[in-house]
Amino acid sequence: MGLSKPGVKLWWMLALLVAPVANAFTDADAVRVFTFARAQLADTILELPNVNRSPKASLSNGTWTTVANTDRIAWTQGFFPGSMWYMFQVANEPYWRDRADMWTRPLEVQKTNTETHDLGFKMYNSYGNAWRLTGDPYYRDVLLTSAASLATRYNSTVGIIDCCDWNSNWNIPLVTDTMMDIELLLWGAQNGGPAVWRTMAVNHALRTLQDAVRANGSSFHYVDYNNNGTIRSRGTFQGYSASSTWARGQAWLIYGYTMVYRYTQDARFLTAARRVTDYYLANLPADRVPNWDFNAPSQSKDSSAAAAVASALLELSTLETDAARRTTYRTAALAMLDSLASPAYFAQGTNSPGLLLHGVGNYPAGQEINVSLIYGDYYFLEALLRFNPRPNYPWYSKLAIPRGQHLLGTSNTGTRIVEFDLTPLADNLGGGVVGWTDSSTEVTAFNRLNMALRMSEDGIFQVRNGAGYSWIRRVPYVRGQTYHFRMNVDLLAQRYTVWVTPPGAAEVLLVDRVAFRSDGPPINDLGRAAVISTVTDSDFRVNNHRVYAPTASVAAALAPPVPLPDALWKQLDAPAPVSTGPVVPSER
């Protein structure tokens, strides 16, 4: 690594500091956090006055302060829609896509805003996630216009993005926060914008490294320049003193240099990311959540800084070229997540509308101290998705049919195998349904589902068969028990076979090549699933749902027999090869 002997000693001391802890963060912890986040974000949607305002910080009465989405100087409006885009990523529920879009589109007014460096926070976290998850060119076009607006703030003499116009005490300032915003320029240069945007971002990152990062890896919050590019002053706007290190400002640097290295693969930025990270880790308290300023005598933890760093280090651990550092950075990130998901910082069981307690907005100004912060929550969710991009998030049943939908894509055609686990969470599910339909079909009623598994009122599993429900064997469902289902779906023949494995028992054939719903919509793919209650929300759940193509041998074994002519069936006095179990008419 090119370290001197003192450097090696410091490095191994650091490695010991972040050695694995007993309670390593797990997939189960991530699912627990996402389950709570789902409820908190849904409550916030209901409590906000309209889509023109976004939450910022929690109040003691359990509500949020809000910011107008038209506010040109405020910087936090992108985090709420961004958090909902992350929830859409978790379980592919159209509900979250639609709500995220509802709070994303009002930010379009910001795309021509040239008064602030914070377009990255506003637009990349909202429109950037929207473009990443949907591929809709509308979002891309808004992002490119936003990047062009941010580029107007580039000062070619100094080589930085001038952060802002609102502070008359500054002349040409940079702040560490802008290291987050320049991703908009880097992304834009890779997605149809001019290459000079990349140059602007790289120059800004290098000048920040030169002038804002101290030799020991700590940092100033701001650097102000004279018109000729010389330094006018350095200090802090939200930290303790000119010689101290503001924790969230350091977090922006860790995240920012990691991100710039991802885009550029320039070794200078990996070195920079290591430098600012190693200072941060070496000065953390035992619970891995920093004081609002590393050098301040006043103690007030900032969970938002910890969340941003946890997210950054999970990425840095994948980009790092040194094996020991990869391990150290990932271990440190998991320890941070473990702490943030503990009762000391996790808001579950409190009246907070957010996810994380003990955030600090602006301590010197006496603003937002010991509160939940929407941006802390955003980076917490991002860190969880970097920990596991596809968590085994359960699908809980919903009374509101549109809310129970999950998108499966458009590629599931021909013959497909479907597998999933189902757990009843109540004694009588009253006809609750797991169903499937085409990717283009919006599920607004039960008759929009071509295939369906039902938990009947009399306590058994039934499968949709043409105009009703049928079964070969009576398989009862029991509260709290998990049943594994396997289906063979022939989309061309519009028939399907279902097996169920009860707990501790052998697999049972539930129905054999029964017909799709007779009055169902057209179907070309297996592109949408729905998990629907009829009694109450969350009275059953589905886990481990997956759809895949059968192997060639399995496909051959499952292929339907060649149908015989009707006259020959009559001659043989034989039934057609479908389930002969009872068929029960039902509106569902």
The catalytic site residues sit at: 118, 177
Going by their DSSP bridges, the two strands 405-407 and 540-548 should be labelled as unpaired
Of 523, 257, 251, 527, the closest CA to residue 410 belongs to 527
Query: How crowded is the C-beta side of 419, counted as CA atoms within 13 Å?
Result: 9
- Please say whether the beta carbons of 413 and 552 come within 8 A: no
**Number of Cβ within a 10 Å radius of residue 526:** 27
Of 356, 374, 247, the closest CA to residue 305 belongs to 247
State the maximum Cα–Cα separation within the chain, in Å, rounded to a whole number. 100
Rounded distance, CA 84 to CA 98, Å?
9
Q: Of how many residues is the chain composed?
A: 588
Find the helix or strand (DSSP H, E) in which 311 lies: helix 303-319
Rounded distance, CA 342 to CA 580, Å?
54
**Number of Cβ within a 10 Å radius of residue 71:** 17
Interior CA angle at 396 toward 391 and 398, to 5°? Answer: 140
Contacts of 401 (CB under 8 A, 6+ apart): 443, 444, 445, 446, 530, 532
3-state secondary structure of 176: coil
Instruction: Write the CA distances from 347 to 40, 226, 286, 367, 528, integer angstroms.
Output: 10, 45, 20, 20, 33
Contacts of 420 (CB under 8 A, 6+ apart): 434, 484, 485, 542, 543, 544, 545, 546
Partner residues linked to 17 by β-bridges: none
Going by their DSSP bridges, the two strands 461-465 and 395-396 should be labelled as unpaired
3-state secondary structure of 416: strand
Token pair in block for residue 468: 């009703």
- Please say whether the beta carbons of 248 and 361 come within 8 A: no
E strands of 51-158, at which residues?
53-58, 64-68, 154-155
